[in-house]
Chain A
Amino acid sequence: MNGIIARITLRQLLSRRRTLLLLLLGGVLVLAAGIFRLAGEEARALPFTAGLLSNLGVGTLMPLVALIFGTGALGAEIEDGTAIFLLAKPISRVTVVLTKLAVAALCSAALTCGPMLLAGLIAAGGLGEGLVVGMTAGAAIGSVLYCAVFVAVSLVTGRALVFGLAYVLIWEGLLAGLFAGTRTFSIRQLTLAFADGIGGIPADIFDAPLSLTTALVVAIALLVVATLIAIRRLSAYEISGEPA
């Protein structure tokens, strides 16, 4: 970890316009919860909260936020050519990757979990039998996983955003409905398994298809492999030519 890189990355990622747009996205979640409070059936509060947090929160907000921060942490600098100013400094590339990754994960966890916690509290009218806490904690873990994967992808390809979206929409969205096996390697499903495990949510409200043990093993493997790929790609990154 390197304090200065962390500070600069934080400033890069939390630029005013981008943060505002992401907060707006989180606001939709809170707004949906508010609309339900005003016009929904009280008896369906818990199933609604479960659907809201798992579909809109974990299924939409979390990947989008992580995608923007994960691909922006290192990929944006490499794309516009300013990365060489950072990489030419006598700082271990391992440190660079780990610092960037940590800051990106922290930012996305904050911007995902905040709105989710708020929306959950509003929609469920309380903690909802572990639902709100579980989903929020799960989303924090999911944000870290997504960021690790997207940072690695942004170092492998220049169009990381599109490939990241393709993974989220096609693999986690389209294929998960057809082939149940793809769920094992779906960060959304891992997150839901963590949420279920941490919150101890009653099965009649929400039941994750993956078991906690599977999720734990796959998550750790995913985190390690993605980080190693990122470190390897950045270590092999050659500085050449003039700054763009």
Chain B
Amino acid sequence: MTRREAAVAPRESATGAIYDLGYRGYDGPRLGRRAAFATLFVASLRAAFGLGRPGRSKVVPWGLSAIMIVPAAVAGAIQALAPSGLSPFNYDNYLWDLQPILALFVAAQAPELVSSDQRNHVLSLYFSHALARSDYALAKFGAMAAALFMLALAPLLVIYFAAILASTDVVAAFGDQLGNLPQIVGAPLIYALPLAALGMAIASFTPRRAYATGAIIAVFLVTAAVGGILSEAGRGRLSLVAPLINPFVLLDGTRDWLLGQSIPDSPVFRADLDLWVFGVLTAALTLVGIVAVLWRYRRIAA
């Protein structure tokens, strides 16, 4: 006999019985909306790296993080062994060169954050708490952006510390390198926000993780390929605007606009456009993405 049957069984007898199962009301402090938001943000950020989850959820985020950092570490080591050689990586071109890793991270982890909640129908549990629907959307977006920011920041910090430690006068080098701080923090920020907005906008529209992953990566791959081909073969205005459909070109243009230093092998360098155009389009992309996520969670049946 299971426990439930045992509890029900006495009803058949004439007397009947009520068991005290020990249910209690909660009369402690209620932390409210802000705390719920913070909790969801932290939990989602941990989930983006598979923390607190079984090992198989850690393989992809940590594998990608490792691949993201290795080139920086290798370049730093070479720089230390042969200081005269010119390093292929610097704060400006690193994220551009490793953009496939960032794209993969978004494609793999954005669905991880939002799709399974829809698939398992647990949204009603979230929304029955102090959390508003917009809070859920913004906390998830914030967590994805923060995860991407950390992923992008780590290798730049490796380059930074490698440059300091490789020099003979560490204190002086620290002072010299301090001027690069805007690039080190700014570039990851410029990459993280739009990529998170784009990824979450796509992922929040499907409960199927595989579809979301496929759709996100398809957007990155197809826009990059179409933009590249059309800018080479089109003529006049077409070749001018074609690269703009690739989100990574927009990001690099924005970085160029705000932080300076263009990269020779980026289409931004060849495109004959004012740099603020990239900035405006990047801001628009980010805003549209966030609005799409908010809209989705306002409408979704929980």
Contact = CB atoms under 8 A, between A and B. Distances in A.
Contacts, number: 91
Interface in B84-121: 98, 100-101, 103-104, 107-108
Contact of A41 (B107, B213, B233): B233
A158 B229 contact: no
Interface stretch (A96-104, A160-168, A182-190): A160-168
A107 to B, nearest CB: 15
Nearest to B226: A32
A39 B60 contact: no
A47 B104 contact: no
B199 to A, nearest CB: 14
A215 B233 CA distance: 29
B104 A55 contact: no
- Looking at B100, B222, B228, B229, the one whose CB has the most chain A CB atoms below 10 A away is B229
Given A60-B222, A158-B56, A162-B60, A55 B229 contact: yes
Interface string B213-257: 111011001100110111011111010000000000000000000
B210 interface: yes
A51 interface: yes
A166 B233 CA distance: 29
A67 B64 CA distance: 19
A174 B100 contact: yes
A35 B230 contact: yes
Contact of B233 (A51, A159, A169): A51
A25 B230 contact: no
A115 interface: no
B232 A51 contact: yes
Contacts of B217: 64, 165, 169
Contacts of B101: 170, 174
A48 B229 contact: yes
A174 B96 CA distance: 12
Interface string A71-94: 110001000000000000000000
Contact of B60 (A21, A32, A55, A159): A159
Contacts of B236: 39
Contacts of A21: 215
A162 B235 contact: no
A221 to B, nearest CB: 26
A41 B229 contact: no
Contacts of B107: 162, 165
A165 B213 contact: yes
B225 A170 contact: no
Given A25-B218, A159-B60, A170-B67, A165 B104 contact: yes
Given A158-B56, A174-B98, A39 B225 contact: no
Nearest to B225: A56
Contacts of B222: 25, 28, 56, 60
A223 to B, nearest CB: 24
18 contacts: A35-B230, A39-B235, A39-B236, A40-B235, A41-B235, A44-B233, A51-B233, A52-B229, A55-B225, A56-B222, A59-B225, A64-B221, A68-B214, A159-B56, A161-B213, A169-B103, A173-B100, A174-B101
Given A39-B236, A56-B226, 13 more contacts: A21-B215, A32-B230, A35-B234, A36-B233, A44-B233, A51-B228, A51-B229, A51-B232, A60-B221, A162-B104, A166-B104, A169-B103, A174-B101
The 4 A-B pairs of least Cβ separation, nearest first, read A48-B233, A56-B225, A169-B100, A60-B221
